[in-house]
Amino acid sequence: MQIIIVGCGKVGVALTAQLSKEDNNVTIIDNNYDRLRYIANMYDVMGVFGNGATYNTLSEADIEHTDILIAVTESDELNLLCCVIAKKAANCHTIARVRNPAYSTEREFIRRELGLSMIINPELAAAHEIARLLRFPSAIEIDSFSKGRIDMLRFKVPENSYLSGFALKDISTRMQCEVLVCVVQHGDEVIIPDGNYMVQAGDTLSIIATQRFASDFFRKIGIHTNQVKSALIVGGGEITYYLAMQLETMGIDVKIIEKNRARCEELSQLLPKAMIIHGDGSDQELLNEEHLENMEAFVACTDMDEENIILSLYARGKVKKKTITKINHLDFNDVIHALNLDSLIYPKHITAEYILQYVRAMRNSIDCNVETLYKLMDDKVEALEFIIRAESSITNVKLEDLILKKNILVACIIRKGKVRIPGGQDYFAVGDSVIVVTTHSGLQDIHDIVVEK
pLDDT digits (tens, 9 = 90+) for 1-39: 899 999 999 899 989 998 998 888 999 999 999 999 999
Q: Return the ∠ at Cα 216 (arms to 210 and 217), rounded to 5°.
A: 85
H helix intervals, 96-236:
107-114, 122-135, 168-175, 211-220
Which runs of consecutive H residues, i.e. helices, occur in 299-423?
Answer: 305-316, 333-338, 347-362
Q: Would you report the helix, strand and coil content of the chain in percent, each value rounded to 5?
A: 35, 25, 35
- pTM for the structure as a whole: 0.84
Angle CA(43)–CA(445)–CA(21) in degrees, nearest 5? 5
- pLDDT tens digits, residue range 295-346? 999 999 999 999 999 999 999 889 989 999 999 876 777 788 778 889 999 9
Residue 453 confidence (pLDDT) = 61
How far apart are alpha carbons 143 and 204 in whole angstroms? 15
C-alpha R_g of the chain: 23
Q: What is the Cα–Cα distance from 374 to 364, expressed in whole angstroms?
A: 17
Structural domains in the chain, CATH included, are 2-120 (3.40.50.720), 135-220 (3.30.70.1450), 230-345 (3.40.50.720), 361-449 (3.30.70.1450)
Element (DSSP H or E) covering residue 105: none
Average pLDDT over residues 82-90: 95
- Indicate the pLDDT class of residue 365, thresholds 50, 70 and 90: low
More confident residue, 176 or 233: 233
**Residue 428, strand partner residues:** 395
Predicted confidence (pLDDT) at residue 186 exceeds the cutoff of 80 = yes
Query: 225-251, pLDDT tens digit by residue?
Result: 788 999 999 999 999 999 999 999 999
Q: Which residues contact 201 (CB under 8 A, 6 or more apart)?
A: 157, 158, 159, 160, 161, 164
In the chain, the percentage of residues whose pLDDT exceeds 90 is 65
Q: In sequence order, what DSSP letters do the residues of 240-271 get, joined into one string?
A: HHHHHHHHHHTT-EEEEEES-HHHHHHHHHH-
* Rounded distance between C-alpha atoms, residue 354 and residue 119, angstroms: 10
Residue 396, Ramachandran bin (φ over 0: left; ψ between -120 and 50: alpha; else beta): left
Q: Report the pLDDT averaged over residues 268-277.
A: 95
Instruction: Tell which residue, 18, 57, 126, 6, has the closest CA to residue 358.
Output: 18
User: What tens digit of pLDDT does each residue of 254-268 get?
Assistant: 999 999 999 999 999
CB 279 within 8 A of CB 236: no
CA dist., res. 75 & res. 369, Å (int): 32
Q: What is the mean pLDDT of the chain?
A: 91
Check: CB of residue 413 under 8 Å from CB of residue 396.
no
Q: Which residues contact 300 (CB under 8 A, 6 or more apart)?
A: 234, 235, 307, 308, 309, 311, 312, 315, 323, 324, 325, 326
Q: Is the pLDDT of residue 367 over 60?
A: no
Q: Which residues of 49-68 are buried (b: 16+ CB within 10 A; e: fewer)?
A: ebbbbeeebbeebebeebbb
